[in-house]
Amino acid sequence: MLATVLLLALPFCVAESASSYAGSTVADSYPPPGATNTAVDAYFPDASQVGYAGPTPTGAEPAAIVTAVPFSKVENIFPLSRPNSADGADSTFNVTRHWGNLSPMYSVESFGLPNASPIIPEGCGLNAVHLLMRHGARYPTSDGGIAHFAADIHAAAVKEGFNATADLKFLATWTYKLGAEILTPFGRESLFSNGVAFRYRYGQLLNGFTDLPVFRTTSEDRMVDSALNFAAGFFDVRTYETDYHQEIIIEENNFNNTLAPYDVCPNENSVDIGYFGGTQASKWANIYLEDAQTRLQPMLQGFNLTISRLVYMQQLCAYETVALGYSKFCDLFTEEEWEGFEYYNEFWYSCGPGNPTSAAQGLGYVQELVSRLTHTPINVWNSSTNSTLDSSNITFPLNQPIYVDATHDVVISNISHQSYISSQIAPFASQLVAQVISCPASEEPTHIRFLLNDGVVPLTGIHGCMEDSNGLCALPSFISGMHERIGEINYAHDCFANYTMPDPDNIIDGRYPS
């Protein structure tokens, strides 16, 4: 269920053209006349002025054409080469869909509503849309496990007794070519393409603007890069910089930011609580990679293939593919082991319903969304909301037909407690869309529903939302349910109280058990 959920309800409807008879000519114009207001430009400094970009080392240039199979235009990974598992090529098994949060985004067919379509239900009208999107594919985290794996394997390779054979023979000459944290070329392309697709789906809502829209992101380099690539695709690569205002919110410790709430939630960063998910995942790795360890270790002398190193090798498959276009690590593991890796990357105990800080971290964004949908300024500052930015109608407008916020995988997981397959919830370039609609079509919105990577999400877990084959919930019921949910979350306790990790069996909705 969408536990910490979101909500939408803006009284904007698609503007009807004066001429709508068959064969008439219609031409819309954006930006709206007179929308440019240079007096507010100072409120939106660019990335060089904001700073706090985080690590930005780049990697080697890809050369997929030298060693990889021809590019595949199928599905969601062009221009990457589709990897195979150790079981061989199988068109029915897509390795890239089993990388968890490292998977490229793909369209989800259903979250339990098999007859629901992302298309607005017949007879209804679109009033507004809110998009919460994840950054695109990136290089791995700075100083992470796979960088240490690379250093260890290179150190071992120069020592006497090292020998790599059979499927691992490539390790004898393998070099680490990845940067850290910034977007890969594929990551940039994904966000640009998402911007183009979003324009096709929701561009008519631009007719409801009387001023330039404000889109938000955080200050990390990959976040800014994702937001700009999306905007270039959504608007126009030559004019996008003047078509909207890009708000860049500082992402750093002790800066309130609903798009990066973990920086002001100490318990999320504690070993006992914040890393509980990693502890549970390690237990599972010892099970699902046992056969891989037995199979692969004889191919490598002078280097101990521990379970954690095997996990790093699976991660290298994902990271090298989205960075270089291919990876020899992919076909070392069987389909069953890739399914195990998918489960290893589930976020249930780290930033989902199984962690007591999860709901608290999602609270701030939900409060912002409620504020936008009800056109009511935030007046209580008891979460990760930023009282400086969110109290200004310039940096936090309440009257936009389109909102776009760029964030991280963990935040989408904090907010969207849905069927827990992480590649469906928070892959690279993930998109959580709230559609505010009127049924029947009218000027006032009547319903709301959510799409997560194109799959319609049932809202029956929200108090007041009834079962509906299209995933619709009456807007007043949804708003009431969100107010109720906000009142249930004890942000101060769950993020700041001195407690140890409770029994995970007692945590089902991302809160410390009462």
Q: Which of 225, 243, 263, 390 is catalytic?
A: 390
Helix axis angle for 185-202 and 307-324, nearest 10°, is 60
DSSP string, 253-289: TT---TTSGGGG-GGGGSTTTTTHHHHHHHHHHHHHT
Catalytic site residue 463?
no
List of residues 6+ apart from 283 with CB closer than 8 A: none
The structure tokens listed for 318 are: 């994902």
Per-residue pLDDT, averaged over 164-179, amounts to: 96
Q: How many residues belong to the chain?
A: 514
State yes or no: pLDDT of 4 exceeds 60.
Answer: no
DSSP string, 145-203: HHHHHHHHHHHHHTSTT-EE-GGGGGGGT------SSSBPHHHHHHHHHHHHHHHHHHG
Q: Which CATH number fits domain 1-11+41-514: 3.40.50.1240, 3.40.50.10860, 1.10.150.20, 1.10.10.10?
A: 3.40.50.1240
Q: Are 10 and 213 in contact (CB under 8 A)?
A: no
**Rounded Cα gap, residues 61 and 155, in angstroms:** 24
Q: Which of 98, 130, 135, 417 is catalytic?
A: 135
In 342-494, which ranges are E strands? 402-407, 431-438, 447-452, 455-457, 473-474
Whole-model pTM? 0.90
**Digit-coded pLDDT (tens) for 329-341:** 999 999 999 999 9
Give the pLDDT of residue 14: 33
DSSP 326: -
Catalytic site residue 390?
yes
Q: Which has the closest alpha carbon to 204: 35, 27, 36, 33? A: 27
454: phi > 0 → left, psi -120 to 50 → alpha, else beta; which? Answer: left
Mean pLDDT of the chain: 90
Sketch the domain layout of the chain as residue ranges. 1-11+41-514
Give the pLDDT of residue 247: 98
**Digit-coded pLDDT (tens) for 50-81:** 999 988 888 876 655 455 554 544 467 888 98
Cross-strand partners of 437:
126, 447
What is each CA distance from 510 to 289, 340, 478, 513, in whole angstroms? 29, 24, 20, 9
Q: Are 316 and 175 in contact (CB under 8 A)?
A: no
Per-residue pLDDT, averaged over 103-118, amounts to: 92
What is each CA distance from 19 to 23, 25, 26, 27, 141, in whole angstroms? 9, 7, 7, 10, 54
Give the pLDDT of residue 55: 87
